[in-house]
Structure 1
Amino acid sequence: MLRRIKQNVIRQQLAIKEGRFYIQLVNNMNHLMKKVCLILFIFLVEWTYAQPALDTIPSKILNENRLVSVSLPASYKRSREQKYPLLIVLDAEYMFDAFHGPLSYANYWDDLPEMIIVGIHQNRNKERESDCKIEPSTGLPEEEGANFFEFLGGELITYLQKQYRVGSFKIVSGVGLTGAFTNFYLYKDQPIFNAYISFGQELMPEMETRVPARLAVIPQNIFYYHSSADGDLPETQKRLAQMDSLMNPIKKPNIFYRYDKFKDASHYSQVLHGVPNALYHIFSVYQPISITEYKEKLLILNKGYVDYLTNKYQTIETTFGMKFNIRASDFRAVEAAIVSNNAFDELKKLSELARKHYPKAMLADYLLAVYYERTGDNKKAIKSFNNAFFLTPIGDLTKDMMMDRANSLK
């Protein structure tokens, strides 16, 4: 009897322990599931927000609703004060994805900025022909074409600026007929687009001479990219080559021009070749300092390394309307150029700039330590490396690195 009582007591104690363990396990699982659900929710919101969405825009000018695809940057909801460049893509049914994919990929590596992409659908009811209608004798938009010109350049952009955080830099793109249509915005006294991308343009009358003539006198910055392919019609290739021959002599600091001729490419496959070239052409100054830029522009300087860096980011802000901290990797590139050319005094100036952009990071104290190290003041170098140790790591700078550099000078 006593043995049975003891066994029952033990079973009850085990049951209590197992019950507590189970409750704790359930609580832990619930807590974990809440975290997982929260993470998944945030991921899905971010992912969904960055995906293209269809929108219908009512137009008084066209007297109809126009279907557009809109893709907002992945950071759009998170960065509520940020404004973004606007890319308008004509022939959205097949051109939208040609831009959306490369931009997403290149932005992951910080080579290209995030932007708002808006694609205008023009092929459901053969709208592109009426949208691009011109008067043959003048080579200018008429009737439906004139209405679409006003819709795209006025009504649509006004609508987008009210709906989204559109920045000052605007790009327009098209292929064939729609590519040529974008040139009409260059005919205006004040072009509303800053950059033009076209593939295999089917030029309107006199356009091969009118476009170069306009670019020769336009005072504002204009980025102009176009291409042709072996698969384009012979007449198309001939006229585009003629336009290129008139473009090349235009040597103005505000005109950024590029023309690509793709061999063994069709009229449509040239788009996949040309989109990356066009985007990298337009945003070349936006990109982090590359090995090529370092060797050909930065390393060859005798002085003014810090000025080069600040001017680069001032150009980004002025040209594209984007302001952000100087990349840590660009600080390191300038540091390398300064050290290579023994211009050590500029390290102090670079350190001051780093402290302005990253006050809580170790970058500024690290650069100051390198200055003292290179000028032979090991005591101050050790102190600065130690100061950096207690600040936040950034880029490839770590606490272990600061400790090792300090110890190497003892």
Structure 2
Amino acid sequence: MKKIIILGLFLLLVQIVNSQALYRSFPSDVLGEERNVKILKPRNYSENPEKTYPLVIVLDGDYLFEPVAGTVDYLSYWDQMPESFVLGINQRESRYDESEINRESGFPEQQTLRFMDFVMELKQTMEDEYRVAPFTVIVAKDITANVASYYLMRKKIPVNALLQIDPDYSTLIQQNLINKLSQLEEYNYFYVATPESNNTLSELITQETDSLFATKKNLNLKHDKIEDTNKYNVSAHAIPRGLQFIFQEYSLIEGEKLLEVDLAEEMKYEGKENKKDMVRVIDRILEKYKMIKEVYGVDMKLRLVDLVTIAEYVESKKDWDQLIDIGVLAHKEYPDLLYGRYVEGLGYEGIGRYSRAIKAFNAAYGLQPAVGITKDDVLDKVELLQIKEKD
């Protein structure tokens, strides 16, 4: 039943994307001919003239574009990944010619090399014509996934992430893939999904390679062996899982993960008198957004929902001083909303500084309600604290 629901959602997303996509004939200097491409622009592109967006390039766009674009649109709507451009390249008549590898040398044939250069030509055109962030993902399947892997053989890797679905790797790629990945210096993501029956990747990506990459913080590598799938339906599962893996640093903060990281941090300093170097929750959220900008090229303000998550977590720990700092940060990010001042007031109330808390709540009263907190809630807080002050 779960598989049927996923496929049903997939078909719905395809229908939505079909009505939104831009179809374009692109004259290529590299190929010396025009090629058909499909482009899905981010939903709020025109409303955010200063914002830049990652680029997701889809090979085999004649059948992979719609499911990829639909998933990007869905995940970005729920803030699980940034809004992104999706560019699909139609290869219905040419995929075999443009994926041909020389059996003797192991390197791409000339037409395949021209196609690879054409993909980079398209990438450059997108960067010239639109506000594209310096983060590019290539999505490909079986033989085109093999072709995409050859970008790793170049001196300067022109992409930041590869999402590979049931790849049909050539011997040269199988022999050099792990070595090339280990040489990467910039922040990169390499996600490979295969049906349960495919054992080729299990032989390439083993526990030994996992330990090899454990110290390389810049490389994120995952082989996802998806149960109960075959070469036809594996894409429906791999696309959302792969995109979430690639954009894991962007996704919303979860309370459970905060607890896990916090416990690990406390264990590091257990028994130590000097704990001033402990990384606080507020520091981690600031580091997260710094990383979003550095890795994905997306400069964004702190999301209110993330601030609410860390505030609730810190309040549950009764870490009142840090709660005050979160309130100050929230007010800085959202000065028109009462939330920041309200949280600041909760912090001062927690440490027993009632007069200072009342001042913060009074400041909150003059601002706009947010996240379910009303002006009546603020007044209730003020009245209760005034009673406490008299006692």
- Select which of 80, 84, 99 maps to 1:132: 99
The match for 2:308 is: 332
1:148 aligns with 2:115: yes
TM-aligned CA deviation for residue 54 of structure 1: 0.8
Structure 1 letter corresponding to 2:59: L
The match for 1:120 is: 89
TM-aligned CA deviation for residue 338 of structure 1: 2.5
The match for 1:286 is: 250
- Select which of 364, 374, 392 maps to 2:350: 374
Q: Which structure 2 residues correspond to residues 223-372 of structure 1 after superposition, within 5 A?
A: 223-230=189-196, 237-245=198-206, 247-249=209-211, 250-251=213-214, 252-298=216-262, 301-302=265-266, 303=278, 304-372=280-348
Aligned equivalents of 2:217 and 2:332: distance in 1? Answer: 31
Aligned equivalents of 1:73 and 1:300: distance in 2? Answer: 38
Deviations 1:305-347 (A, max 9, x none): 2111101111111111111111122222222333333332223
TM-aligned CA deviation for residue 116 of structure 1: 0.2
Contact 1:50/1:73 (8 A) holds in 2: no
TM-aligned CA deviation for residue 193 of structure 1: 0.7
- 5+ residue gaps, structure 1, are 1-46, 232-236
Contact 1:299/1:337 (8 A) holds in 2: no
TM-aligned CA deviation for residue 388 of structure 1: 0.3
The match for 1:61 is: 30
TM-aligned CA deviation for residue 73 of structure 1: 0.7
The 3-state SS of whatever aligns with 2:379 is helix
The match for 2:271 is: none
The match for 1:37 is: none
Structure 1 letter corresponding to 2:202: A
Q: Which structure 2 residues correspond to residues 35-50 of structure 1 after superposition, within 5 A?
A: none
Aligned equivalents of 1:293 and 1:48: distance in 2? Answer: 33
Deviations 1:224-264 (A, max 9, x none): 10111146xxxxx2322222226423221111111111233
Contact 2:55/2:87 (8 A) holds in 1: yes
Contact 2:255/2:313 (8 A) holds in 1: no
The match for 2:140 is: 174
Structure 1 letter corresponding to 2:135: F
The match for 2:73 is: 104
- Larger relative contact order (Cα-Cα within 8 Å, sequence gap ≥ 6): 2
Aligned equivalents of 2:117 and 2:301: distance in 1? Answer: 38
Structure 2 letter corresponding to 1:198: Q
Structure 2 letter corresponding to 1:344: W
Aligned equivalents of 2:158 and 2:290: distance in 1? Answer: 22
Cα gap change, 1:337 to 1:263, in 2 (>3 Å):
closer
Structure 2 letter corresponding to 1:284: Q
Structure 1 letter corresponding to 2:210: N
Contact 1:141/1:149 (8 A) holds in 2: no
Q: Which structure 2 residues correspond to residues 367-406 of structure 1 after superposition, within 5 A?
A: 367-406=343-382
Aligned equivalents of 1:50 and 1:222: distance in 2? Answer: 33
1:191 aligns with 2:157: yes
The match for 1:209 is: 175
TM-aligned CA deviation for residue 298 of structure 1: 4.2
Which has the higher mean CA deviation after the structures are superposed, 97-106 or 314-323? Answer: 97-106
Aligned equivalents of 1:50 and 1:358: distance in 2? Answer: 35
TM-aligned CA deviation for residue 398 of structure 1: 2.4
Aligned equivalents of 2:263 and 2:46: distance in 1? Answer: 39
Aligned equivalents of 2:173 and 2:17: distance in 1? Answer: 41
Cα gap change, 1:299 to 1:191, in 2 (>3 Å):
same
Contact 1:50/1:74 (8 A) holds in 2: no
Contact 1:368/1:384 (8 A) holds in 2: yes
Contact 1:228/1:270 (8 A) holds in 2: yes
Among the aligned pairs, what percent are the same residue?
Answer: 27
Aligned equivalents of 2:36 and 2:201: distance in 1? Answer: 31
Contact 1:177/1:203 (8 A) holds in 2: yes
TM-aligned CA deviation for residue 299 of structure 1: 6.2
Deviations 1:29-52 (A, max 9, x none): xxxxxxxxxxxxxxxxxx999811
Contact 1:87/1:117 (8 A) holds in 2: yes
Aligned equivalents of 1:180 and 1:95: distance in 2? Answer: 16
Matched length: 356
Structure 1 letter corresponding to 2:200: R
Contact 2:53/2:298 (8 A) holds in 1: yes
- 5+ residue gaps, structure 2, are 1-15, 267-277
Contact 1:85/1:168 (8 A) holds in 2: yes
Q: In terms of Rg, which structure is larger?
A: 1
Aligned equivalents of 1:90 and 1:199: distance in 2? Answer: 11
The match for 2:166 is: 200
Structure 2 letter corresponding to 1:132: S
Structure 2 letter corresponding to 1:215: L
TM-score by length of 1: 0.82
Structure 1 letter corresponding to 2:383: N
